[in-house]
Amino acid sequence: MKIAIDLHIHSALSPCSDDDMTPNNIVNMAVLNGLDAIAITDHNSCDNVESVMKAAEGRIIVIPGMELQTIEEVHLLSYFTDLYSLLAFSEDLEQYYDGSPNRPEFFGHQLIMDEKDEIIGEKKHALITSLLLTFDKAVELIREYKGLPVPAHINKPSYSVLSQLGFLPPDLGLSLIEYSRNHPIDFQKYPECNFFFSSDAHFLGHILGRNMTIFVESLTINGVLQGLIKRP
């Protein structure tokens, strides 16, 4: 079946995203927009993924994810087949935090919410900074937890693997790539790769409609990830 996806959405946990990016607001907007699957990909953290999954139950597929910022300032998406793998990965990842606290007055709030959109905490560590982890090691760590690493907005002039490293490392077996619709890209340079685009929404109004579609065998987390990987 053909489904519509938006696999790069920030919740109110990301300091740079709007505080209205609550679990229910995101799910309601995604459903309203006709999406079948979304992913929550906050910077270096995943504290709102479970709440969004609960808010979405029976309405839309939510893929557990995160957007890492490596020491080279490369953004790297990661997707997991289940919440528990993501949570274990996230716990392990915290050892690579650089230790700087968030300063909400400058960077914005990092709100942790439950499935009813109640604020239940605020992340103390600054999620705007880079992890003390190289791009190669980050790819390795994601795979250690059976996650799928996907270079984010590869053609963006900042925070992308191309802008920071200058090339897509050929020896890492990265075959699924996210690109930005707002910048030019030459797909023919990467004949081995499958591409998709997302909204990278930090505001509700930026969440995609039925713009990016793929074919899947089943409307499940696994089905969506397999559909992404297996595209011709």
Between strands 176-179 and 194-197, the pairing is: parallel
Smallest distance, Zn ion to C-beta of residue 10, A = 6
User: Does 6 interact with Zn ion (rule: CB under 5 A)?
Assistant: no
Residues 28-47 that bind Zn ion (CB under 5 A): none
CA–CA gap between residue 76 and residue 68 (Å, rounded): 5
Q: Please give the size of the binding site for Zn ion, defined by CB under 5 A.
A: 4
> How many CB atoms within 10 Å of residue 220?
14
> How many CB atoms within 10 Å of residue 226?
16
Which residue lies nearer to Zn ion by CB, 50 or 200? 200
What single letter denotes the amino acid at residue 216? V
CB 70 within 8 A of CB 135: yes
User: Does 200 interact with Zn ion (rule: CB under 5 A)?
Assistant: yes
Which residue lies nearer to Zn ion by CB, 50 or 67? 67
Residues 44-83 that bind Zn ion (CB under 5 A): 67, 75
Give the x/- contact pattern for Zn ion in 117-156, rule: CB under 5 A.
-----------------------------------x----
CA–CA gap between residue 64 and residue 73 (Å, rounded): 22
Smallest distance, Zn ion to C-beta of residue 200, A = 4
Which residue lies nearer to Zn ion by CB, 163 or 220? 163
CA–CA gap between residue 9 and residue 17 (Å, rounded): 9
Smallest distance, Zn ion to C-beta of residue 47, A = 16
User: Does 201 interact with Zn ion (rule: CB under 5 A)?
Assistant: no
Q: Across-strand partners of 61?
A: 37
Q: Across-strand partners of 201?
A: 9
Smallest distance, Zn ion to C-beta of residue 161, A = 11
Q: Which residues bind Zn ion (CB under 5 A)?
A: 67, 75, 152, 200
